[in-house]
Every structure is written in structure tokens, then in C-alpha cells.
Amino acid sequence: MHHLRVIVYLIGLFALVCGTTLDGWAQSQTAGTLNLRNTQPSTISLSLPQTGVTGYTMLLPAQQGSAGQVLTVSTVTTGQSTLTWADAAYWGLAGSAITKGGTAAGEQYLGTSNEQDVIIASNGVERLRINGAAGARQGFIGLGTSTPNAPIDLGATVLLSNSGTSTELRFAEPFASGTNYTAFRSREQTQDITYTLPGVAPDTDGMVLTGSPTGDLQWRKPLSDVRRGIFIPAVGAFVHVIPVGTDITSGSIPLITMMNPAGTTIGLSITAIDDVNDTFTVETSVPLGSADRIAWMLVRPN
């Protein structure tokens, strides 16, 4: 060991006097490991992989780094990687203490700094995407879809949970300084309910949205479900049996009026309702002529 120290000293002295830069080799013929040791008995070692090694050079920075910085590869050329000191800025799995949130200089944010999407996954499967590519969809957020087509695109069912008080789906009023909103919320139920919207818009003004027991919604005219008609009586008859053509349920109310030539007044009244044969009987104060008609409407209870 004493002779080795003398040799190393002489080589260094020769390089100092001659102004020569010397390349040195430190190797282990058995394990490809460089052992570094001072006066302590323990060593710190650098080892090469046992197989598949392709020679290259790691160029160290010209100056030392600051506290907290890390060595990173800044450029790569054929056979050489240049190392540089960089700030160790990252988001920790247990949270990160930042100075100021934002995307301006000196601020910190979670995301990409180029035109690449932000992807959040669980179990190796994409769950959320924020479009980063330039264009009309840049910044669009997709949940359950990798191709969002709106500022927020939900590709799955949305649930508004609650903790005893119903949550609401709110629509803010269309004013810059407005604070009011319109909201939809559920009430207590004994079973799930699904409403299926109509496939088309209403074709006339004044139509209403009606539903079926299965939750199918459709546009209908307000009186489309009210049975009505114009009855043509037998000429000379006082008593008129009018068929309704639908079930007369308990509590149904027939409404009647006369349609007759001007200058005459005819009294009429309902004298019977037959909920078996679904008819009702009307009697008039005079026998009706060929131009007389009885208009009727059946109002059924809810």
C-alpha cells in the first residue's frame, strides 16, 4: 500500500509540472465495482451492471450545487450525458408545501407546461383527462371519457350524494352580478326513479311535459288527454245517450253545452252516468233538430 501511494503521488506531481490532464482508470476485474474509502474501514461503492453495458461518459457540472438541488441529465449526445444541478421541485405523495399556487413565474402548479394532456388514473386505468393540445377543446375536462367535447364532459353516471339533506343541481341566473339560481333536488323515495326525456322538441307553443308510470316523458297538448266530442242527436229526440269511448272512472264529471242555430235557447241537463257502459244521458227542453249538436267534455279525476 505504501508503494501505491508513492506511485500515485509521483503521477500527480508529473501532471502538475507538465500541465497535463491525465485520465485515470479505477476498476475491479471481478465485479466492475469502484470502492471509495477514507480512513474508515467501510467503503462506498459504484458498480456496473454485470451484462449489457455500453460505454458512455457522464459529464459533471462545472460548479457545485445549492442545498436541496439534485443532479439531472440536461443534454444527451452520442456516448455522453451532461449533468446539471436543478431545483428539486415536485409534488410529494404526502403533500407539498408551496409558496404560491399559480402558473406565473415563481408559482407552483400541478400539471403540464407544454401541449400535453394531464391524465389521472387509478389501477392503471385513466379516470380523468384535461386536454392540453392547442385548439377549441384545450382545457376541456373529461371524466370517464378520453375525448371531452365540452368544458366538463361526464362519460358516466353522476350522483349528487347527501348527508341527510338533499343536495341540489343549481343553475345560476344569467347576470354577471347575479346571485340567484334555479335548482332541482330529490325528495324522500321508496325506490329509484329514472325519467327519460323526449327525443324531440315540442312542435307548437304551449305544450306540456307529461310522464308515464315507467318515467317516460313526452310533449303533449294541455287538453290532449281530456275526452271530448260533438254528439249528433236523433232528430225530434228529447233524451240523448252519449258514448264516451273511454273509461268513466268514479268521480268523473261530464261537461255539456248546446251548439244550435242563433235565435233559439235550449235547456239541457245530465240525467244519468253509466260507468259500466261508459255513457252518460242528456235530456233537452225541446226536441232537437237536424242542425242541433251537443258538445261534451269528460273531466276525470287525477
Taken in order of first residue, the domains within the chain and their CATH numbers are 118-154 (no CATH), 187-224 (no CATH), 227-299 (2.60.40)
CA contacts within 13 A on the Cβ side of 17: 6
Sequence-distant (6+) residues with CB within 8 A of 127 are 120, 121, 143, 144
**pTM, entire model:** 0.60
Asked if 88 contacts 70 with a C-beta cutoff of 8 angstroms, the reply is: yes
How do residues 222-265 score in pLDDT, each as one tens digit? 887 788 999 999 999 999 999 998 888 888 889 999 999 998 89
How do residues 156-184 score in pLDDT, each as one tens digit? 999 999 988 999 999 999 988 889 999 99
Cα dihedral across residues 201, 202, 204, 206: positive or negative: negative
Local confidence band at 10 (pLDDT 50, 70, 90 cut-offs): very low
Residue with cell 249528433: 232
Question: Percent helix, strand, coil in the chain (nearest 5)?
Answer: 5, 35, 60
